[in-house]
Chains A and B, each alone.
Chain A
Amino acid sequence: METKKSSEFKKKSIFYKISEVLVTMASKPSGFIGLSILFFHILLAFSSPYLAPYDFKAIDPSLMLQAPSSEYWFGTDSLGRDVFTRTIMGGRTALTITFFGSLIALLWGGLLGIFCGLVGGKVDDVVMRIVDAFLSIPWILAMLLIVSLLGTSTEVLIPALGFFYGKGIVRVARAATHDVIAKDFIVSARARGHSNLSIIWNEIIPNVRDAILVEGAMRWSWMLLGFSSLSFLGFGVSPPTPDWGLMISNARGLMSFAYWAVIAPIVGLSSLIIGINLTADAFAKALGIDRSTKAPV
């Protein structure tokens, strides 16, 4: 009969699982590119204060709109600030705020979605109609309202972004829960008399976790774009903090003769979004493959 060694089936630690997923993601070209871009950006965000050749807020009118040169690699902007310095530092705020924003979105969206999926009935109906109502409000208008009332501090931006981007996650989490809820192991847990909380934690979350995480990763890139739009409109980061959205906004009027001041932040922003998107795709595929793995052949 079966004589496979038990070591083959040892329960794997969480770190091992994560590294396994990362290796799977990096084994495809698109996943590798995405991961490299993302890691590059994260690394840059951490190290840019030490790498920056100039002070990001040093204004010097004599150096206004200089073309790229060996001294100022990406040229200077309309206030004479070094574009290279500002570009490598411009992702820091955006990355931090949107990362924590996505975490909040994941948490509340995921939990509410799972809860609605499990409980069903009237509660589900009412909550979902409220979520639908919020989905119908243009998020940027609502954000502008919140920001103009409460200010543009990080403490306001993170929960506000988290709230608006969590609405979509509610729907995904609820749908994923619906898939699981009909399975017999949930019925079995109910028949044994487990509480709703225990069913959510033990039976549902392990089965919907992947779907929600992938959705969260996608939301992160959308939120980044949204946050940059806010900055572009002047409601995100306040000057003189370097930020891509703000930089694009400031330099766009001069695009016809000082293209460098616009191009650098655009490349920064779009490469990060592309990187996150590719990573999220590879992440989804890696988890998908993992889920369908059968007994080792």
Chain B
Amino acid sequence: MEEIIQKVKNLSVGFKSQKGHEISILKNITTDIKKGETVGIVGESGSGKSTLALAMMGYVKQGLYKMEGECIFNSSNLLNMNNRELEKIRGRKIAMIPQNAGQSLTPNLKIGYQIDEALKLHTSLNKNDRDKKISELLNKVRLPSPETIALRYPHELSGGQQQRVAVGMALAGNPDLLLLDEPTTGLDVTTQAHVLELLNFIAKDTGTSMVYVSHDLGAIAQVSDRIIVMYSGEIVLEGPTRDILQQPIHPYTYGLLKSIPKLSLAGLPDSMPGSQPQPGTKKKGCSFYDRCNLAEDKCKKNSPDLEYINELKTSVRCFNYKKLIKQKSENQSNIKRNEKNIKVNEILNLTDVSISYAKQKLLDQIFNKITDTNPTVKDINIDINKGETIALVGESGSGKSTILKSIAGLLRTKEGKIKFDKDRVLSNDVKKRNSSDLRAIQLIFQNPDESLNPNHTVEEILAQPLKLYFGLSGEELKQNIIELLEKVRLGKFYMSRYPRQLSGGEKQRVAVARAFAAKPDIILCDEVTSALDVSVQAAVLNLLQKLKEDFGTTYIFVSHDLAVVRAISDRVAVLYQGRLCEIGPSKNVYKFPSHPYTEVLLGAVLEPDPDIKPKLVAEDIVEDKPPEKGCCFQGRCPRFLGDQCKNETPPWQIGDNGNAIRCHINIKDLEKKQNGN
């Protein structure tokens, strides 16, 4: 019998609404965390996963209260303890690693001092021992030269390094249980893969139990032994990682896995209809009833209990799970994209575009002298064909959004031309563009919360482009708005709603409708799905694809998520530090990544399958400036040649598969080397 560290029993947490109704956020959660085990809690936003993790350290957010149940740690109930007693447990026995380490570290204290504080609080070591321990901890989380890191301030470290420091601090008290709340969500793919690998190592090395909360099944798959799937405040599925991911027997998990885009599969993922019910709206029956394909009448009336199935070692909350046992999720019938051959009919040409954020001095401005020899974005040459979806991918700081802003005219290019429709040079200032150029290029933003004016109704939001470009008014305007809403599959009654009354997916649909209102030729999509939940993301991707096929719109799609890009794009351009590394048809770039950076990037992508491990080829150093000369990727390249890469800008080479790369090594050799790995 394994030792149980924490026992959660019948836990319900909720709040009282203004009308006095009791509304639960967590319903009857019962689970155990065993010693040395890593448990992944996965669910979409609002499923209660963070609330559960916080309750595990005896904390209930302000405004919420414990309705019933207990969290037992070391045979005492954390939820009945007072602050004094909790202080002895938090940090020493149970430690927490927050999502954004950059914000949880105090900005004006040195790293070493902050860890020292944690050590003073949780251990009884003297000064010398503490100093030794600090180095030891920083070494353990694999930070280079711990002594110098300890003397730095948080802002002098990269996001990945900050997260490592947070892990180190959490380990200071030698905790038995480590709670991690989305610890890698804000990090770049390569950094994320490295941090996860570190966490795996620490779990094995120290034998600490971990509870890993995330919305990302890919990350959960890499670290956890057991997975808990939450939906609407309930555990709907719980069991060993491999079984859950390879044979999900709850319809929600099944649908969730299908809606995740995967590197190995072309085409768009299936989407799940609807969205998670708001807390308090559901009275009777299964909470997943509205969205379930297997739903029957009894699901509407009775809510199923969590049932333990012995032969699968899995608990499931569904009446009809048996129907899913035989169905395997691996060969998903993904929706095929209409991969028409796109004719060469260029609509937008970027020629030698460079963009700089550096401010020019007044004198240099007057004499038109270029002072910044190392601009943020340099030498971008892309020809975009009508009707294609071209994706710009890269890690943060790769200049993908910068390029998008320049195309929209919001950021001045320093050099080079952006030509629209073959011969019209677009002005690099949005104010100097004429109305038809403005109409032709529309933007969709990452976060619909910010891109929709909170004080406007959906009707007012959609009316703006219609009034501006087509001068519509009255009944005609209203008719057009209704048509637009229908196009994005929203009902007419959405017109009078405010953005705060819509869910994330609905908001993004309104943003999509606003872009299409202008009847644009090109739509610039800036990380349009990264603020959305997976199942909603799939629906938005499907919608974008459908609209594109209907209207022949060209998309320029910026994303850091390589699997999403694989799903939607025809062509992909890989950027590093504002320079193009590789460009080519998506299927070839993903199948035969030739440029070393593409190889690193693709290797680090996490798949929701515990058997596919990420390949960590290069170090996850973060460079904040592109190198002055030579190849842009020289600092991290696993195939670094030496002086040639340092001094000479690599030439373009075109491979047999149609992808062009910028590298000194012959493209054929690169392909051979990668197959050898």
Contact = CB atoms under 8 A, between A and B. Distances in A.
Contacts of A207: 453-455
B456 A10 contact: no
A188 B500 contact: no
Interface string B264-295: 00000000011000111100000000100000
Given A11-B457, A297-B280, A190 B410 contact: yes
Nearest to B500: A294
Interface stretch (B29-37, B54-62, B444-452): B444-452
User: Interface range on chain B: under 10, 10 to 19, 20 to 34, or 35 or more?
Assistant: 35 or more
A203 B453 contact: yes
B367 interface: no
Contacts of B455: 206-207
B445 A187 contact: yes
B661 interface: no
A184 B450 contact: yes
Interface string A264-297: 0000000000000000000000000001011101
A207 to B, nearest CB: 6
B104 interface: no
B123 interface: no
Instruction: Select the residue from A183, A184, A188, A206 with max chain B CB neighbours within 10 A.
Output: A188
Instruction: Select the residue from B279, B433, B451 with max chain A CB neighbours within 10 A.
Output: B451
A54 to B, nearest CB: 52
Interface string A187-219: 111111110000000110011000000000000
A291 B498 CA distance: 11
User: Interface range on chain A: under 10, 10 to 19, 20 to 34, or 35 or more?
Assistant: 20 to 34
Contacts of A9: 493, 496-498, 501
A183 B450 CA distance: 6
Contact of B438 (A183, A192, A297): A192
Contact of A193 (B433, B450, B454, B456): B433
Contact of B501 (A5, A189, A192, A295): A295
A206 B290 CA distance: 37
B493 A293 contact: no
Contacts of A187: 410, 443, 445, 451
Interface string B457-500: 10100001100100000000000000000000001110011101
B445 A297 contact: no
Instruction: Select the residue from A192, A294, A295 with max chain B CB neighbours within 10 A.
Output: A192
B675 interface: no
A297 B279 contact: yes
Given A11-B457, A207-B454, A297-B280, A193 B445 contact: no
B406 to A, nearest CB: 12
Given A190-B430, A191-B443, A295-B278, A6 B496 contact: yes
A297 B278 contact: yes
B17 interface: yes
B94 interface: no
Interface of A: 1-2, 4-6, 9-11, 183-185, 187-194, 202-203, 206-207, 291, 293-295, 297
19 contacts: A1-B274, A5-B493, A9-B493, A11-B459, A11-B496, A184-B445, A184-B447, A184-B450, A190-B430, A191-B410, A191-B442, A193-B433, A193-B438, A193-B468, A207-B455, A291-B454, A295-B500, A295-B502, A297-B17
Given A183-B450, A194-B468, 9 more contacts: A4-B493, A185-B453, A188-B445, A188-B451, A191-B409, A193-B433, A193-B468, A293-B500, A297-B279
Interface of B: 17, 23, 273-274, 278-281, 290, 408-410, 430-431, 433, 435, 438, 441-443, 445-447, 450-457, 459, 464-465, 468, 491-493, 496-498, 500-502, 506, 514, 518
